[in-house]
Amino acid sequence: MKVEKHLHMTGGAGDSSYAVNSKIQEKAILKITPILDEAVTEVHKTLLPEKMVVADLGCSSGPNTFLVLTQVMKIIAKQCRLLELQPPEMQFFLNDLPGNDFNNIFQSLDYFEESVKTEKGAICVPHFVAGLPGSFYKRLFPSQSVHFFHSSYSLMWISQVPEGLESNGEHVSPNKGNIYIGKASPPLVVKLYQAQFNRDFSLFLKLRFNELVPGGQMVLAFLGRKKKNIYNGELSSLWGLVSESLHSMVLEGIVEEKKLDSFNLPFYAPSMEEAKEVINAQGLFDIIHMQMFESNWDPYDDSDDDFVIDHVQSGANFAMCIRSVLEPIIGSHFGSSIVDELFSRFAMNVAKHLVKEKTKLPVLTLCLKKKNRCDGDMVKNN
């Protein structure tokens, strides 16, 4: 699987698009607003740049893309009023893989500019917005050129399916029948996924360290794992329901078994301890803030209850969210003809699961500040 080519959210503004079905991600962005506020305020107050560069990594498309920009501009505008300063010129870079619907973003810029002008307490911050296609597992910016990085719901996507999970010819994948770490996955599969995440997250930290100005910060939020037992992790349960849906279609001859056996997600949900271990091992960032919060599967369920009122409707709601994320990668591997049937079955499987257990999505949130180093500011990317 060529991740850079096939991994992107469903574009456009149709019923199954990410733009319409990204309320779960919106909730995460709003939840971490206080952390974002503190980080952006400190960067600006400490550095007082005349020009401030902010990058959103894994921006996708739709209203959430501009929500982050608006929040940052509000924070800067408030800070400048308090300090009686002229606001800096803001340069925003919106980054995602080349398959992202950048056209949707560009077509929405006029609407965004109008909304900024009509915002209560007008946001008078000069700003410029540019798209930047490319993997955040590669260098994206010149050295020491970015003041602040934001990334939400992106870093659980790893750069590739771990080597060793392939199924081709006479070689059978050790993760046969699963699309992620499932209860039947052997320990080797877990080790391969963990090793890939460790490599990718380590590389991500090195790259961003080199790109950040001294005193620069990052706020990162991505899906993680609260449960210690990785086989019983919350995301293992979620992707297990997708596997079950695909397997039922194999049994009915709708999907080829070899297609299922050769499909694994380029995804890993780390525990807080795993992420912290990588950060400390690199020694490039101070951890200013680290927490885990949970979000209901159903984006329209704001309750803290341990039960679901309408499991059928919640199953349908959540299935649309996951479809908006998986449809391109599923379609590229299995063919687009199975998508409707797959997510219809997935919705029913989710509904049955929610009758037994109200599983939630754990979201790992980090605020990292670039360390001052005495051995030169650049670090090697390998």
For 30-77, what is each residue's pLDDT tens digit? 999 999 999 999 999 999 889 999 999 998 877 888 888 889 998 998
Q: What is residue 277's predicted lDDT score, i.e. its pLDDT?
A: 95
pLDDT tens digits, residue range 221-245?
A: 999 998 778 887 788 888 999 999 9
Which of helix, strand or coil describes residue 155?
Answer: coil
Residue 120, pLDDT > 60, answer no
Residue type, 90: M
Pick the more confident residue, 120 or 175. Answer: 175
CA angle (43 as vertex; 42, 49 as ends), nearest 5: 130
Q: What is residue 20's predicted lDDT score, i.e. its pLDDT?
A: 79
Q: What is residue 137's predicted lDDT score, i.e. its pLDDT?
A: 94
pLDDT tens digits, residue range 331-372?
A: 888 888 999 999 999 999 999 998 888 888 999 999 999 998
Task: Band the pLDDT of 111: cuts 50, 70, 90.
Answer: confident
Length of the chain: 382
Host H or E run for residue 247: helix 234-251
Q: What is residue 6's predicted lDDT score, i.e. its pLDDT?
A: 67
Q: Cβ distance 57 to 154 under 8 Å?
A: yes
Residue 118, pLDDT > 70, answer no
Residue 219 per-residue DSSP state: E
**Average pLDDT, whole number, for the chain?**
87
Q: What is residue 377's predicted lDDT score, i.e. its pLDDT?
A: 61
Cα gap 185→40, rounded to integer Å: 42
Q: What is residue 242's predicted lDDT score, i.e. its pLDDT?
A: 93
Show Cβ contacts of residue 242 under 8 Å, excluding neighbours closer than 6 positions. 179, 322, 326, 342, 346
pLDDT tens digits, residue range 144-159?
A: 999 999 999 999 999 9
Q: Which two tokens stand for residue 219?
A: 């706020």
What stretches of the chain adopt beta strand conformation (E)? 51-57, 89-96, 127-133, 146-152, 212-223, 285-296, 360-370
Task: Band the pLDDT of 308: cuts 50, 70, 90.
Answer: confident
Distances 167 to 164, 229, 262 between C-alpha atoms, Å: 9, 26, 5
In terms of Cβ atoms closer than 10 Å to its own Cβ (0-12, 13-18, 19+), residue 285 is buried
Burial code (b: 16+ CB inside 10 Å, e: under 16) for 131-159 equals bbeebbbeebbeebebbbbbbbbbbbbbb
Residue type, 149: F
Q: Rounded to two decimals, what is the model's pTM?
A: 0.90
